[in-house]
Amino acid sequence: MVTRIIVDSEKELAATGSELIVSEAERCASLKGGFSIALSGGKTPRPMHGLLSKEPFLSEMPWDKTDFFWVDERCVPIQNRQSNYGNAKRDFLDKAPVRPGNVHPMPGEMDPETGAREYGEFLIDFFSLSEGQIPVFDLIFLGIGEDGHTASLFPGHDVLDEKERPAAALTGGEPPLDRITLTLPVINRAKKVAFMVSGKSKAGIIKKLFGPNSHDLPALKVRPSDGELVWLLDSDAVSLIE
Ligand code: 6PG
């Protein structure tokens, strides 16, 4: 199932995203006692992350039942403003009653290949899987780059063809950085995947993605096998298709 939610402003987008996270977390926590979410980096989700550390979300979120993971990470020190985990820590994790043991950053401080392998092994262990099985997240939040990348899955990269490993290492982005990313098999097994897209700078890629899909763009490869796909967009992002 694909749901498209269009709101007027970036502020409203952040609130809608926070409401989605909290409602999914409450639902999963009461249904099965836990909630697993993988967060993206970049600028778009940061207003939403900031709202999670404020009322009403601060009180509503079942922090003790939530495990935080990352969709991707740039291999830089946490203090670096490029660090996705570092930014999430600054935006809300350090301001909310999260259990330190429930926060699972990608190891961006070590050799990327080793970090990707270790994170993949951690996911297999966390989700009590055997080798070759695919971790299933309750919710994965994704952004989109102007080139149609998502996570750290960039156009033309071999990692797009990864069928087994849950996480992989690559060099990409502007400026090119060593990165670790979840792979498509994991993203497409999630119970819910939410793209959050904001701003006029993304209107061109949204027009391409929602247009006749002649483009072999990484974001178009996100097709949850039996999960729900939600598009959260503001009016600027859809200004070329609405
Ligand atoms: C990353 C992100 C990446 C991001 C897009 C959009 O670590 O770079 O996970 O996939 O979502 O590049 O980034 P903005 O939100 O900054 O436009």
What pLDDT does 131 receive?
A: 84
CA distance 78 to 107: 10
Going along the chain from its start, the domains and CATH numbers come out as 2-234 (3.40.50.1360)
- Residue range 46-70: mean pLDDT, rounded: 98
Report the run of H or E that residue 205 belongs to, with start and end. helix 203-210
CA of 150 to the centre of ligand 1 (A): 7
Residues near ligand 1 with C-beta < 6 Å? 40-44, 71-72, 84, 143-145, 149-152, 173
Judge whether residue 226 has pLDDT over 80: yes
Verdict on whether the full-model pTM lies above 0.85: yes
Instruction: Give the pLDDT score at 214.
Output: 57
C-alpha to C-alpha distances, 173 to 71, 84, 117, 178, nearest whole angstrom: 15, 14, 21, 9
The Å distance, Cα 38 to ligand 1 centre, comes to: 13
pLDDT of residue 216: 86
- Average pLDDT for residues 203-208, to the nearest whole number? 96
Angle in degrees, CA 28, 69, 200, rounded to 5 = 95
Distance between CA atoms of 236 and 9, rounded to whole angstroms?
A: 8
- Site to substitute for ligand 1 among 43, 44, 75, 83, most atoms within 8 A of C-beta: 44
| Ligand 1 center from residue 141 Cα (angstroms) | 11
pLDDT, mean over the chain? 96
Residue 242, pLDDT above cutoff 90: no
Residue type, 52: L
